[in-house]
Chains A and B, each alone.
Chain A
Amino acid sequence: MSRRLPQWELTLVVFTLVAAAWSATLSPYYLSLDQILNSTRQFVYPGILAVGLAVVVVLGEIDISLASTLAFGAVLFSKFSAAAAPIWLAVPIVVAACAALGALNGVLVARLGLPSLAVTLGTMGAFRGLAFILGSETGYTSFDDSYLYVGSEELLGSLPISFVLFCGVALAVGVLMRRTVFGRRCYAVGLNKEASWAAGIDVAQLKIQAYALAGGLAGLAALVWIGQYGSARGDNADGAILLVVTAVVLGGVDINGGRGGILGVVLALFLLGTMRNGMGLANVAGPTQTIVLGALLIAGVLRPAIFRAVARVYRLMFPRLADAPN
């Protein structure tokens, strides 16, 4: 298992470098550190959501309500800002509230035994509905500067703070998954739920914790959102979940659970970001971008199948060469 992973990650790195080179030829504006760093902003909030989703997927479940949780978080932030609450008070409360929403998903999935796709399909609508009900029609925009800080400011002139936050989150969750008991248990449950349960792991509690983590991260992503776009409304991040899921599966996280890691997700995000940035700078038409990204997703996962087919042809054509030397 661990031998297969670096191969995929390596492929992603190669693809990303190729994409970067291709982008540089498509547009003269691409190859600039400032530009590339700035372009990472677009992928920070989906990235944070993707990291949270990866944990849930490793467990063998899924959560498509994360974008709605983000919207709820953003609207909740707006309430705090309107009440002139300090940012250091608002952030933990909003993150906790979003984690509670995530935990609700977890309870429905783990204790009631509902299928996670169905549950989060429902909570996707319910949470966003809550965001709409809580928020205002036109959206809240008069955020205090302290609320906007994370999403909009830079360090050292060109390094977006939100990007730094994303790297921190990815590192923390990556360590969580690889080096802690929690992470190891997630992989175990993802690989074989029954055996893990027999081995004494409280599967239900683990799932609830994972969903709560994903929800809490969505709350953090909401903080980035409001800084970046300056507005909080019920329809924030509507439709973002598709990109998030794409990043997770492209990152090599097995949708059935038990395999893949945060590193892959981060690399996949870089790949997607590079491609979108490069094509955007060359003003490639929207539909063409969509086709390219869709084809990339398919090609990426077809790679093992293509290799296998090529290997089979090779074996057919050169049977003697394929035999082990004696």
Chain B
Amino acid sequence: MSSEATVGAVEGPQRTLGQFALRFRVSGVLAFLILLSAGFALLRPQFLIPENLSAILSNAAILMIVAAAQAVILITRNLDVSVGSIMGFAAYLTADFAARNPGVGPALVLMPLAIGGALGALNGLLVSYGKVSPLIATLGTMSVYRGLTYVYARGQEVTSNRLPRWMIELADARLSGVPILVLLAAAVVCLLAAFLRFYPLGRRMYAVGSNPEASAFFGLRTQRIVLLAYVVGGVMCGLAGFLYAARVGTVTVILASGWELTSLAAAVIGGVSVTGGSGNVIGAALGAVVLATIDNGLVLLGVPEFWRMFIQGVAIVAAATADVVIATRIRRSLRVRRRLVRSAA
């Protein structure tokens, strides 16, 4: 659909324009974030103190990872509404395991990654090989995964005192003032962004999302690529679930329920197109920061709770509008450019 942001292996002026377009898409949400922050800062100067900014980022950290996961899947023209259930399942099983085996070390983190990957793979299999519509498939697995978590938990929750010390400390630790959670999230997002941009497999995901039929024509193994997208998304959700458990401490069965919509909102605000093929994970991560900024700013301003939902809803629509306006402008400028190039040739 929106092919202008597909990073193709084309040389010359179009390549720079492609890169420029990509950066432009991120700068849409970045501009939105800066405007928002400026607004809050003007009204409440304490918004800008480093401690507050750090608080916003650490509140956003885990959502950044989940939004990035959702973005990867959206880019392939699919979606995943089971992300919250994957997080919950991975987090609960891992926390319960850790509680029963007190001496377990950092290798524990492999467990939620594996669980998340497996659940994501199931989603991917349903969508790519079972040819089930992604909305239906993940609606179904959302219920199944959450239900399984319940059945496993049998009405118990895992309290923070039963989690390994190193896990809690990881969540609280700081590196020269910056919370480790934030650094971790940023690292994961950047790695993913690099993968999507510089690795052929990553670029193929954009291709599949832009035009699945054409991609299949060109010999791309679309089914495998979609499956991989879901697996990557699942692994990230597993990681996010683990970090959620470490951060909040008490692990309940309804952990992260509702995060499917929040991650979707973050991705949308971040310029990821729900029709596939464009946007990137950095934008989605910034979208998560926007949501956390709104929450923080509204508390600082003392805005009544009722208005918060309304403002967030308007912000999502505004972000989507801004994104489309920018995309249209890019498309128009590309068309002009292409005409110039062609006429010059």
Q: Do chains A and B touch in the complex (CB under 8 A)?
A: yes
- Let me know if A287 and B316 touch, CB within 8 A: no
Is the Cβ of A125 less than 8 Å from the Cβ of B313?
A: yes
Do A287 and B147 touch across chains, with their CB atoms under 8 A apart? yes
- Whether A115 lies near B274 (C-beta < 8 A) is yes
In the bound complex, CA of A123 to CA of B261 (Å)? 13
With contact pairs A287-B150, A288-B151, A297-B139 given, residues A133 and B310 touching in the complex (Cβ less than 8 Å): yes
A231 to chain B, nearest CB (A): 17
Are B309 and A245 in contact (CB-based, < 8 A)?
Answer: no
> Could you tell me if A121 and B143 are in contact, using CB atoms closer than 8 angstroms?
no
Query: CB of A117 within 8 A of chain B?
Result: yes
Contact (Cβ within 8 A) A129 B133: no
A294 touches B147 (CB 8 A): yes
Is B314's CB within 8 Å of the partner chain A? yes
Q: Which residues of B contact A255 (CB under 8 A)?
A: 133, 135-136
Residues of B within 8 A of A254 (CB): 133
- Contact between A301 and B136, CB atoms less than 8 A apart: yes
Contacts of B150 in A (CB 8 A): 285-287, 290
Q: Please measure, in the bound complex, the distance between the C-alpha atom of A289 and the C-alpha atom of B148, giving whole angstroms.
A: 11
A14 surroundings in chain B (CB, below 8 A): none
The interface bits of chain B over 93-136 (1 if a CB of A lies within 8 angstroms of the residue's CB, else 0) are 00000000000000000000000000000000010011111011
A278 within 8 A of B: no
Q: Do B274 and A234 touch across chains, with their CB atoms under 8 A apart?
A: no
Known: A121-B261, A133-B310. 17 other contacts (CB 8 A): A117-B274, A118-B317, A122-B314, A122-B320, A126-B310, A128-B313, A129-B306, A245-B135, A249-B135, A255-B135, A290-B150, A291-B143, A291-B144, A294-B144, A297-B136, A298-B126, A301-B133
Q: How far is the CB of A299 from chain B (nearest CB, A)?
A: 8
Contact in complex: B140, A126 (CB < 8 Å): no
State which residues 305-345 of B face A: CB under 8 Å.
Answer: 305-318, 320-321, 324, 328
103-133 of chain A: CB within 8 A of chain B: 108, 112-115, 117-119, 121-130, 132-133
Point out the residues of chain A lying under 8 angstroms from B309, CB to CB: 125-126, 128-129, 132
Q: In the bound complex, how far is the Cα of B311 from the Cα of A103, in angstroms? A: 20
Contact with B268, one of A121, A123, A246 (Cβ below 8 angstroms) = A121
Which A residues are within 8 Å of any B CB, using their own CB?
A: 108, 112-115, 117-119, 121-130, 132-133, 234, 242, 245-246, 249-250, 254-256, 285-291, 293-298, 301-302, 304-305
Q: With A and B bound together, what is the CA distance between A302 and B324 in angstroms?
A: 35
Note all chain B residues with C-beta closer than 8 A to A113.
324, 328
Contacts A287-B151, A288-B147, A288-B151 given; does A119 touch B320 at CB 8 Å: yes
**How far does the alpha carbon of A146 sit from the alpha carbon of B300 in the complex, in Å?**
45
A132 CB, nearest partner CB in chain B, Å: 4
B306 contacts A132, C-beta separation under 8 Å:
yes
Q: Is there contact, CB below 8 Å, between A298 and B137?
A: yes
Q: Can you list 25 A-B pairs with a CB-CB distance of less than 8 A?
A: A113-B328, A115-B273, A117-B79, A118-B317, A122-B318, A124-B313, A126-B314, A126-B317, A127-B313, A128-B309, A129-B307, A129-B311, A234-B306, A249-B136, A255-B136, A287-B151, A290-B144, A290-B150, A291-B151, A295-B140, A297-B139, A298-B132, A298-B136, A301-B132, A302-B126
Q: Which chain B residues lie closer than 8 Å to A288 at the CB level?
A: 147, 151
Give, as a whole number of angstroms, the nearest-CB distance from B272 to chain A: 9
Tell whether B57 is near chain A: CB-to-CB under 8 Å: no
Q: Is the CB of A118 within 8 A of B320?
A: yes
Contacts of B25 in A (CB 8 A): none
Is B289 located at the chain interface by the 8 A CB criterion?
Answer: no
Also in contact, A297 and B135, with CB within 8 A (given A125-B310, A305-B130)? no
Q: Is there a chain A Cβ closer than 8 Å to B142's Cβ?
A: yes
B140 touching A298, Cβ below 8 Å: yes
Nearest CB in chain B to that of A105: its residue: B317
A121 to B79, CA, bound (A): 14
- Whether a CB of chain A sits under 8 angstroms from the CB of B275 is yes
Kindly list chain B residues whose C-beta atoms are within 8 Å of the C-beta of A249. 133, 135-136, 139
Residue of A nearest to B311 (CB): A129
Known: A132-B309, A249-B139. A291 touches B314 (CB 8 A): no
What's the least CB distance linking A142 to chain B, in Å? 21
In Å, the complex CA distance between A127 and B261 comes to 16
Would B265 and A301 count as touching, CB distance under 8 A?
no
For A296, the chain B residues whose CB sits under 8 A away are 140
What are the residues of chain A within 8 A of B140 when measuring CB–CB?
294-298, 301
* Nearest chain A CB to B36 CB, angstrom units: 15
Inter-chain CA distance A225–B264, complex, in Å, is 29
Residues of B within 8 A of A129 (CB): 306-313
Judge whether B306 and A114 touch: CB under 8 Å: no
Most buried by A among B264, B268, B273, B328: B268
> Which residue on chain B has the smallest CB distance to residue A305?
B130
**Is the beta-carbon distance between A122 and B306 smaller than 8 angstroms?**
no
Chain B 138-165 against A: per-residue CB contact (8 Å), 1 yes, 0 no? 0111111011101100000000000000
A112 to chain B: which residues have CB within 8 Å? 321, 324
Q: Mark B8-46, 1 if CB is under 8 A from A, else 0.
A: 000000000000000000000000000000000000000
Chain B hits for A305, CB < 8 A = 129-132
A128 and chain B: residue at smallest CB distance? B309
In the complex, how many angstroms separate the beta carbon of A313 from the nearest chain B beta carbon? 15
In the bound complex, how far is the Cα of B136 from the Cα of A256, in angstroms?
Answer: 12
* Among B137, B151, B305, B315, contact of A301 (Cβ-Cβ < 8 Å): B137
